[in-house]
Structure 1
């Protein structure tokens, strides 16, 4: 294994694996830290953790354990992958994990770049944009676990890290890899260990990737991987895929603006049932009841808990943020188990925490990477009779659920 990747969630980790596979690398995504060694043919290993919103110390512990496993596989470079909207709080977890990895690897000039132009995420003058909106104006300010209220990544990262935060501006990035490398050297000389790097186009990420050749540690969204396969002598290639027949279902737990639009679009065309969070938390609605409803439907049924931000805030205030989140995630995990036991062979999920709960609930050990459905979301094979799509809340076109099911079946 040459490139080792540590992801803080399952949806973004699958996107990262897809990006590397499209770049020509032989990739496997692991759900959690494997018990044994990787297969000898694996060039890039993606260890997907669920550390985005857990306590800082536990996130650091799990990330360092993943690093130990990846280094034991012979990795020459480590990539720490987080969300392209930099989901975190003033306490972490991005900064503390990046610090711990940097210290373990004795890494300096650590790139911080959540940009992903293909999904509208760009960084200019250190500020993160989602399409034409600043991060704190795109809906992420209402995220139930990691509300993003400041678009300046330098300012948001500063209280999370023990190190000074630097910046490589767009002018240097546009000038190409040599200029980026020189700017990183200058920032390092000025005492900045974590360095935010601007990026507005895929070409910028390619240039940043070239400048990162030989660095022990890189951090960013999955887009940062666009330029990395070439550093290992790989060239882009089609990703093979065998479609899966059978029955399908959709589970959505994201409250993002994009997912709520997708839910509304799908509910107007297919069977759909809302999962009121308060009913689940208070024990008035069970996973078994929801799973039985889905299994009784024809077509592509959807079960969703994607309320508007004000309703989510009210439920959290009444029941506690952590308790509400844990109860809903446990519900989705149990629904998924019952659906697969009931014959579902194609499962589509929306929301990072929801997808993580489903993957853990089904105990999916490794995921084989398939073709891209929409930017940031690949098809995944979880077993001989099960394929999945794990969508981050903000990703995908309005008809994503229908597109995902078609691609999982092997249709164009």
Structure 2
């Protein structure tokens, strides 16, 4: 990307898999999309209508999250972007202090914005918002398993209340009654909220149609905040304005051949099911034990030996994924931060060694794990390709060697996601 071909949409995501999730949504809408790993030091050479800057700010100290997000905003403004998007998880992952609210406050101030909506809804993945309450499938957020998240436990489904604890803005609710009635009703509700000095408004949405209506109503907004679902209608806005050229090949990736591995650090309910499915099929799997890592046992060397003995014949799974009770026991013994860091460092070392061995295709489960792996692999930017499951596309790294990467949020994907992803990548390689 050069200054002669500016991007239209600049996005700031608070973790790596969330960034990929958002980029996937934009590609589906026909926008050629590049994802960068952190804030680049220079312009990009690849053409794109949308750029997603992936940060690792979801669980970072609040001031770090703010400064990194403002640096990303400055870089995106230099690229000529005319609209900006703060992307966070569809389960609104955060703590009582942030970082969703503080980062939104900082971006609003930098862009001189007095009102923005906040909508994490992603119905395709089972996340809906009604009367300001976030549901995961048929249960409230705090009953979905997210209450057991090791870093950002979500114990309250009332997002107006959650966000109000984090922001200096007054938080309101853009109710479903208005969203369902269409764009004009949404405009009227927004004006009414702004007149009450509401700065951020949680927006109800229970279907993709609701997200399209919200997107259309926000076509002229300088800043939007939400999960990836809210981005559904944004490509259409740019196309209607005559700004988005037809790009039938927006999701096209180069064929990348070579051995493949699955690296799973997430302990979410969905990823536990995916690991179990893989093992039930009798496919090769090696468990990374955080307690063994803490005891300085040669776990990484053993994992590499296991993988090297098999990858020429079939993909392997290397996983630290565990059930909630096991995770709690490890955290009690080591602390949440240390246990997480041990796993991330192990996965990063394994990925780097396997790449040096000639591995070119990786499926990675978990936002923190994905961030550690792409950093270890030296990946600085990705071209976004076709969707595997809602919220998860294949990507191809820019630069040499080219790597195929599927970076999966822990909560996403069907039970057979790992094998499905590898089958799809193999078909592209042919």
* Corresponding residue for residue 278 of structure 1: 291
Q: Structure 1: any 5+ residue segments left out of the alignment? A: none
Per the alignment, in what secondary structure is the counterpart of residue 36 of structure 1? Answer: coil
8 Å contact kept, 2:288–2:299: no
8 Å contact kept, 2:362–2:405: yes
* 1:260 corresponds to 2:268: no
Residue 139 of structure 1: how far off its partner (Å): 0.7
Residue 199 of structure 1: how far off its partner (Å): 0.5
- Bigger shift: residues 101-110 or 236-245: 236-245
* Corresponding residue for residue 186 of structure 2: 180
For residues 87 and 281 of structure 1, what CA distance do their matches in structure 2 show? Answer: 27
Residue 223 of structure 1: how far off its partner (Å): 0.9
1:333-372 map, 5 Å: 333-372=348-387
* Corresponding residue for residue 400 of structure 1: 417
For residues 356 and 184 of structure 2, what CA distance do their matches in structure 1 show? Answer: 54
* Corresponding residue for residue 289 of structure 1: 302
Q: Structure 2: any 5+ residue segments left out of the alignment? A: 1-6
For residues 41 and 388 of structure 1, what CA distance do their matches in structure 2 show? Answer: 20
In the TM superposition, what whole-angstrom CA distance separates every residue of 1:61-91 from its partner, at most 9, and x where no partner exists? 1000000101111111110001101110001
For residues 209 and 298 of structure 2, what CA distance do their matches in structure 1 show? Answer: 49
* Corresponding residue for residue 8 of structure 2: 2
* Corresponding residue for residue 129 of structure 1: 135
* Corresponding residue for residue 22 of structure 1: 28
Tell me which of 382, 389, 402 is aligned to 2:406: 389
8 Å contact kept, 1:10–1:355: yes
1:29-40 map, 5 Å: 29-39=35-45
* Corresponding residue for residue 113 of structure 1: 119
TM-score by length of 2: 0.93
* 1:246 corresponds to 2:258: yes
For residues 232 and 147 of structure 1, what CA distance do their matches in structure 2 show? Answer: 37
Tell me which of 195, 199, 208 is aligned to 2:205: 199
- Bigger shift: residues 38-47 or 190-199: 38-47
Flag the 1:406–1:291 CA change in 2: closer, same or farther, 3 A: same
Aligned length: 412
Tell me which of 79, 82, 104 is aligned to 1:76: 82
TM-score by length of 1: 0.97
Superposed CA RMSD in Å reads 1.5
Residue 40 of structure 1: how far off its partner (Å): 7.5
For residues 236 and 309 of structure 1, what CA distance do their matches in structure 2 show? Answer: 44
* Corresponding residue for residue 170 of structure 2: 164
Residue 331 of structure 1: how far off its partner (Å): 1.1
For residues 339 and 97 of structure 2, what CA distance do their matches in structure 1 show? Answer: 21
